[in-house]
A and B are shown apart, each in its own frame.
Chain A
Amino acid sequence: MTGTAPVVTQNVLSPSTVQVGGTGTWRTVAQDPDAQTETIQRGVVDSQGNRTVFEATLTVSDPLTYESPTCDDPRVQMVVDAGDPTLVHITIT
């Protein structure tokens, strides 16, 4: 294993109190601290020899895997959003 662990940058449970039968959401976002920012350049030269350099910034990061959420209380049902792995839908049964 190399590098350092991801860092949680957003952790919001809304609302923090849910009645039985109610619903809520839990969003957890993490970032890879090993990510590096690279600058890429490309020059463009016209027929008179004038040269312009274009730059862009590229972030090289590990892909992060969000595992399934867990809770010991069987009343708490959690489903990860189909289009957003950082978002969990909570239902209290």
Chain B
Amino acid sequence: MVTLRRTIRDSQGNAVQATAELTIPTPPPATPKLGASFKGTENLPAPVTSLATHRFFFQPGDFLSSKTWSGQPALVKAYGQYGCRCFSISVKPDSGSNPSSTLSSASQARLAAFLDTAPPDAELLLTFFHEHDGDLRDGSLTQAAYDIGSKQVADIAHAKGHKYGPIHNGMVYDPARTPKWGLWPNIWAQNEALLELYDFWGADCYSDGYENPSPRMDPLRTYADSLGLPLLIGELASPIDNAAAQATWAGKARTWALANTRWAHWWSSQVNATVSDPNPTNYRLTDASARAWFGLP
């Protein structure tokens, strides 16, 4: 957002200044990168033979030990089998159960060493603690720890010539609103780290009800524009429950992502079952939804 100013004076020199706020949206690139995440033990549906960008995340405590690129099957498969050269990689703190946990000096050194093992032609987009809004809300993460961890990872990313940005929860909770859950920019804003660290702004956003991506997801673009940053979607998907609806939604999501994002990833996985959620939603791409998302014949 930019500010326009104009001064109006009378003949005695008394003056008033008028201002107006003008939004200039950040134009999306001509060819946004659309990609997907997948487990290293799995393949994407057969119609998918190449991938422009891949989403990958590390778990809390992963950098308590050394990590290498070649030790991550999903990264190796995305780069080698699908020819991917762009990777959105997120890192969690040493202890996910400690609200004030960040990365120790040793863990930071191991993260830097991991980045050194990446192929030299790989474009890396780093993130600290993706979907942190929910953790801030339930107290499992403090804002102070998020600020520190963001700077730790951003500094390492920038030192290695890579990009850094956050990946928020798209759906956040605002007790002052009705409904309380929604895509609320004021909540994203209060959960930001130092904005100067960001090269992009990101969020994850699912559509369990096959809602039309526009206007539902438009606030993501508007908010990223307000920061002057390109939009990254870390995860988006609709469930496989209704395969025809999923494929239709995938086509609409492609149209929206091409018009509004620079990077967008379909989350092609099923969350592991837990005691509290024995039948988790399956977001895997089918042949039909993969064709729709990637624009394949």
Contact = CB atoms under 8 A, between A and B. Distances in A.
A43 B23 CA distance: 58
B274 interface: no
Nearest to A12: B20
Interface in B1-47: 2-16, 18, 20-25, 27
A26 to B, nearest CB: 6
A67 B21 CA distance: 18
A59 B4 CA distance: 31
B5 A70 contact: yes
B160 to A, nearest CB: 31
Contact of B22 (A8, A18, A63): A18
Interface in B77-132: none
Nearest to A71: B4
A2 interface: yes
A58 B25 CA distance: 47
A26 B4 contact: yes
A90 to B, nearest CB: 7
Nearest to B17: A8
A1 B12 CA distance: 5
A57 to B, nearest CB: 21
A66 B7 CA distance: 6
Interface residues of B, number: 23
A67 B7 contact: yes
Contacts of B20: 11, 13, 16, 26, 28
A71 B7 CA distance: 12
Contacts of B8: 6, 8, 28, 30, 64-67
Given A65-B9, A69-B5, A18 B14 contact: no
A8 B100 CA distance: 50
Nearest to B14: A5
Given A17-B25, A18-B24, A6 B15 contact: yes
A72 B9 contact: no
A90 B22 contact: yes
A76 B9 CA distance: 23
A17 B21 CA distance: 9
B18 A11 contact: yes
A78 B27 CA distance: 21
A70 B22 CA distance: 12
A8 B24 contact: no
A20 B27 contact: yes
B6 A88 contact: yes
Contacts of A26: 4, 6, 20
5 contacts: A1-B13, A7-B16, A69-B5, A71-B4, A73-B24
Q: 7 tightest A-B contacts by CB?
A: A62-B10, A5-B14, A13-B20, A73-B2, A17-B23, A69-B6, A28-B18
Given A17-B23, A67-B6, 11 more contacts: A5-B14, A5-B16, A7-B16, A13-B22, A17-B25, A18-B22, A20-B25, A62-B12, A64-B8, A65-B11, A71-B4
